[in-house]
Amino acid sequence: MKDQRIALITGSNRGIGFETAKQLGEEGITVILTARQLDVAQRAARDLIGQGIDAYGIQLDVTNEDERKAAALYIAEKFGRLDILINNAGVAPKESLFVSKTLETSKEEFAHIYETNFFSVVYLTRELLPLIKKSTAGRIVNLSSILGSLTIHSQPESPIAGFRVLSYNSAKAALNMFTIQLADELAPLGIKVNSAHPGWVQTELGGNDQAPMSITDGAKTSVGLALLGEDGPTGKMIHMGEEMPW
C-alpha cells in the first residue's frame, strides 16, 4: 500500500461520483466510495471490486460532523494518508434548477444548498487535510459548475441566463472562492486544489432527458484534475482540460 495512491470520492454510490471512482480505479488507484448509508456505499464498492478495482465503501453524510471525523479516522487507521480528495457530493434545489429565482429564495433553501454544497466541503476538507499533507502529491478537486461563474453570468447574452437560481449558483461561486484561497494556502506544500465543471451531465441532478453529456464524459474532468502532474494548474476552474473564467 506504500506506493498505492488513495482517493476518497464523496457521494460516489451513483452518477458522476461512481463513474469517477471507477475511472480512478482503472488507473490503479485505491478508491473509497461514500454514501449516506453504509450498505449502499459497500454495494457500490463491490460493483467495482467485481471489475478488478481496489475499492472500499464507507458511510459518510458530508453534513454530519461525527461521520466526517469517523471517515478521517478510518482512512488514518487503514491507509495512513490520503492522496486525492474529490468533493463530489452535492444537492440541487428541491423545486428546480431550471427556473430562475432570486428574491423568492427561502431561508430553508439557502440552508439546504449551502450546508451540503459549500459548508460541508470546507469542513470535510479541513478534517482530512492532515492526511492529505502526508501525501507526496496531494490533490483536492471541488465539484463546481459553470453556474458559479460570475463572469459568464454577467455577459450581456449569457448562455446560462436561464439558470439563475441564487441558492445553487451563489453556493458554487462561494466554493470557487474556497478553491482559490485554499490553493494559494497549500501551494508551498505541493498540494493542488481546483474546481471542476463536469458539464451538463445526464444525472438525476442534471436532468437525464435534457443534458447532452454522458456520465462517462462527466467524470473525466474530475479524474484529470485528480491525476495532475507537478506542472498542472492549481487554483483554477477547469472543464475537460480547459480553464474557465471565474
Long-range contacts of 177-180 (CB under 8 A, 24+ apart): 178/118, 178/121, 178/122, 178/142, 179/142, 179/144, 179/235, 179/236, 179/237, 180/235, 180/246
Task: List the Cα angle 40/79/55 in 5-degree steps.
Answer: 35
Query: For residues 150 and 220, is the Cβ–Cβ distance under 8 A?
Result: no
Known catalytic residue at 168:
yes
Question: Of 22, 168, 192, 236, which residue is the catalytic one?
Answer: 168
Name the 3-class secondary structure at 215: helix
Asked whether the beta carbons of 34 and 86 are under 8 A apart, the reply is no
Give the three cell numbers for residue 141: 478537486
Sequence-separated (6 or more) residues with CB below 8 Å from residue 177: none
| DSSP-assigned letters across all residues of 91-123 | ---SS-SSS-BSTT--HHHHHHHHIIIIIHHHH
Q: What is the 3-state secondary structure (H, E, C) of 40-78?
A: HHHHHHHHHHCCCCCEEEEECCCCCHHHHHHHHHHHHHH
Beta bridge partners of 58: 34
Q: Which of 22, 172, 192, 220 is catalytic?
A: 172
Q: At what angle do helices 166-186 and 120-132 cross, to 10 degrees?
A: 20
Active centre residues (catalytic)? 168, 172
